[in-house]
Structure 1
Amino acid sequence: MERLMGMSDQVWARHASPWSVYSRFAILPLLALAVWSRVWIGAWAWGAVALVLLWTWVNPRAFPPPARLDSWASRGVLGERVFLTRRDEVAGHHRRWAAILSVAAFPGALVMAWGLWALDAAWVVFGTLLTMIPKIWFVDRMVWVYADWRRQTGKELGDV
């Protein structure tokens, strides 16, 4: 996924902006809204879906690198980078929980998809929440990954 997103060092630096992280939390609800919009705009909903997918790619590039890297969001991005690029340096319990949280998001995505197919707003909201909660927990786990990696290697913020 990292390769598909074209995540260079510069893009990772920009993605560490809390604006990038927190605005990404809106992507899944926006995607659900784009799919739901087929009710109002018919086939033009494909354009709305395309815009959300474009924003998914643009988002890590849209904000300048943060002046400081000590926010929860920035440390989550740095931890994700450590997790992806230095996987052998990440403790087994972190790798295990990352896998569990990734799998835990899947049932929520199915519920959301069913709600979108059936046009049932309650199921869409419920499924979206069931998908987002493990995703946010994953970011929090990446904060922990980054803290452990710093303790283990002695490297400072931004040395990733």
Structure 2
Amino acid sequence: MDAQVWARHANPWSGWSRLSILPLLALAIWSRVWIGWWMLIPFSVVLAWTWLNPRLFPPPESTENWMSKGVLGERIWLNRSKRPELLHHAPVIRTLTIATTIGTLLLLVGLALLDLALTTTGLAVAMLSKLWLLDRMVWIYGESGRNQAGSHDQTQN
């Protein structure tokens, strides 16, 4: 995403509505039970929503909210090679990324086997880990300082 898309994605409506993607994707895949190969239609709609979401909303009037700070913190973290003072977050972020990956794998296995308990457990683990990771990004945003984050946000991809 370029700087303009990141600015639009910092809109809290973008961040919060983006949380719908994983459950909708799971539902689209599960729908093969009811609609067979037609499940490719809702699956494609969810993929389109995934791409469209960070581009759909205007830049926020204010970034003084948890979701906007999380999105901006993620952008800062992606450029962490230029911000070595933030690297102490790496072990926690690595752990949360592993937890999110494990949850996603459980979700995929649950969907493949049509196992509702495994699917919902995987979905819960993946989403809770992702939210915890987002909270860490809020922390990174706060540590980086708003002025630095704002200028950093506009100049880095």
TM-score using structure 2 length: 0.90
Of 48-57 and 10-19, more deviation after overlay is shown by 48-57
Q: Deviation at 1:157?
A: 5.9
Matches within 5 A, 1:27-66: 27-66=21-60
For residues 11-49 of structure 1, the C-alpha deviation after alignment (integer angstroms, 9 at most, x for no partner) is 001000111101111100000000001011110112221
For residues 47-99 of structure 1, the C-alpha deviation after alignment (integer angstroms, 9 at most, x for no partner) is 22111111111000111111001100000011111111243315222122222
Partner of 2:141: 146
TM-score using structure 1 length: 0.88
Partner of 1:4: none
Give the gaps of 5 or more residues in structure 1. Answer: 1-6
Partner of 1:3: none
Identity, % of aligned positions = 48
Give the gaps of 5 or more residues in structure 2. Answer: none
CA RMSD of aligned residues (A): 1.5
Q: How many residues align?
A: 151
Partner of 1:102: 97
User: Which of residues 144, 147, 152 is equivalent to 1:155?
Assistant: 147
Structure 2 CA distance for aligned equivalents of residues 80 and 58 of structure 1: 19
**Larger RCO, structure (CA 8 Å, separation 6 or more):** 2
Structure 2 CA distance for aligned equivalents of residues 38 and 155 of structure 1: 49
Structure that is richer in helix per residue? 2
